[in-house]
Structure 1
């Protein structure tokens, strides 16, 4: 269920919501010491994670400790320091990470790879946009130089991946997140996100096949 006002305002713009995310830790997340699976998705009406955007709030995972965690699934969480720290604290015990959408993807992937998790055998990312749509090469408002660079890169590296919503803007009035298309294109051309993703996935795949 997505809690969105009929006129378009997201839940994260309402004052009644402002203090609620901070309660999730003391009331719930901090007490999941026996949890083996944890799935959390605040939906697109109120994404969490303080990435320096408008209408953003902490995830309330800063003090959460789940020593028995084996499978983690997160959705509608902005890339942020709190998310990275939570993942790093649980990477050695987790076997399955499933994520859906201030920090770049490469920074997150590099931090995860540096941890060299030995038990993680599955990591997946899901989003609504098709891979070929993420650079939005038909965007008339986009930087034409960036669009041309993306086209050239795709000719050379047809399997290169783009990663959405690490680079986004939150609309001040309605609170909804939208792609920063030029930032997505620039990151795609630079290639750090995909390279760091490949490095991290090499570790995960090695764990899965037992070749580490």
Structure 2
């Protein structure tokens, strides 16, 4: 029986699976989706290629797992940040600050790489589905703030662009609290001005 480095076999398997996913994320971010192969991921994780297949039947299956896990942590953080907040402006602020603190921890790296990757169609469709679901609270806050019930998409895209620029600044070393303060000043002004017109 292979040596395990955990209290139970189940914990050992969970650790091995997590190591493979983390190795795959590193390969994905550095080299793209095409480089995420059983051999490359196994080598990066320090496991034999044969061990890969004990956890994932194929590279696309591993990419699918990355897709799911890339959004789970962000969704959980956002849900916690928005709990108990009902005012649209408060929800907008909580969403933005959470996104930027996640960016500071590198949590968005997998999702960003996946959005840019040449993924299998079913994986790409799932990425877009999860991305849309993750941003639903933001879109709802924008709609409530602007009253644009009929056509909020353009405003949502512009707000999203501001948040993306803020995330990029944070990923390059800027302080997430300072960047959030500046971004929210712009967003609150823009959305409030739009409402009053």
TM-score (norm 1): 0.29
TM-score (norm 2): 0.31
Larger strand share, 1 or 2: 1
> Which of these two proteins has the greater Rg computed from alpha carbons?
2
